[in-house]
Amino acid sequence: DTEVTQTPKHLVMGMTNKKSLKCEQHMGHRAMYWYKQKAKKPPELMFVYSYEKLSINESVPSRFSPECPNSSLLNLHLHALQPEDSALYLCASSQEGTYGNGYTFGSGTRLTVV
Amino acid sequence: GENVEQHPSTLSVQEGDSAVIKCTYSDSASNYFPWYKQELGKGPQLIIDIRSNVGEKKDQRIAVTLNKTAKHFSLHITETQPEDSAVYFCAASKGYGNKLVFGAGTILRVKS
């Protein structure tokens, strides 16, 4: 299995809703990442988990709350989002090594906040 | 922090021609340089990567070169095909567990 699986593929939520994005990989990668991508822009890092511990938080607002329940799963909990948070949310994973293996990306969750 | 610049922003080529996309990076500690292809509605797909201990790498029609001294790396696609049309991103990283910093992207259009 060489894939990163993200669910759901599409999500529409109101500003008062609470929702979660899910990411799963079974490649034995020990680092997992959340990226946000706006239209016609490159992905921007939000969070990094290494060995299930949060290692990097790129000053992301607290309405985004990451969670890594185990080495294969990564969640992103969403609460009280704003319309400007609408974007493609990408999960990625990478393998430990001298330079790290390629970062493998999922297909993303397209989030629309209304 | 790391900054990656990518040029050109758009590139149109005739089918069968070659395409070259160039990137520069700022942090000399970066040691991993992947290239991603992103099609509409999909996540970035790794197409080739190079590490700082190598100057060139080739995979069929795709090649990447790295000049550590100048902090440049480039993607070369030969014999382009319409299915090569997509957005291409370069990126730089210090490796495992570190931030992957992307260039702004290049829209490649291959005309048949």
pLDDT in tens, chain B (112 residues): 889 999 999 999 999 999 999 999 999 999 999 999 999 888 999 999 998 888 999 999 999 999 999 999 999 999 999 999 999 999 999 877 788 899 999 999 999 9
pLDDT band, very low/low/confident/very high, at A101 (cuts 50, 70, 90): low
Percent of chain A with pLDDT over 90: 82
Predicted local confidence at residue B49, as pLDDT: 93
CB contact under 8 A, A105 and B98: no
Are B31 and B52 in contact by the 8 Å Cβ rule? The answer is yes
CB contact under 8 A, B44 and A31: no
Predicted local confidence at residue A2, as pLDDT: 67
Q: Which residues in chain A have Cβ-Cβ distances shorter than 8 Å to B96?
A: 31, 50, 94-97, 99-101
Predicted local confidence at residue A58, as pLDDT: 94
Predicted local confidence at residue A95, as pLDDT: 83
Amino acid at A27: M
Q: Which residues in chain A have Cβ-Cβ distances shorter than 8 Å to B31?
A: 99
Torsion of CA B46, B48, B51, B54, to 10 degrees: 180
Q: What is the pLDDT of residues A60-72, one digit of tens each?
A: 999 999 999 999 9
Predicted local confidence at residue B97, as pLDDT: 74
Predicted local confidence at residue A100, as pLDDT: 53
Predicted local confidence at residue B14, as pLDDT: 98
Chain A residues with CB within 8 Å of chain B CB: 4, 6, 31, 33, 40-45, 48, 50, 55-56, 58, 88, 90, 92, 94-108, 110
Torsion of CA B53, B56, B21, B38, to 10 degrees: -80
Q: What is the pLDDT of residues A42-56, one digit of tens each?
A: 999 999 999 999 999
Q: DSSP for A53-104, please give it.
A: EEEEE-S--TTEEEEEEETTEEEEEEES--GGG-EEEEEEEE--SSS-PPPE
Q: Is the pLDDT of residue A79 over 90?
A: yes
Q: Is the pLDDT of residue A98 over 90?
A: no
Predicted local confidence at residue B96, as pLDDT: 74
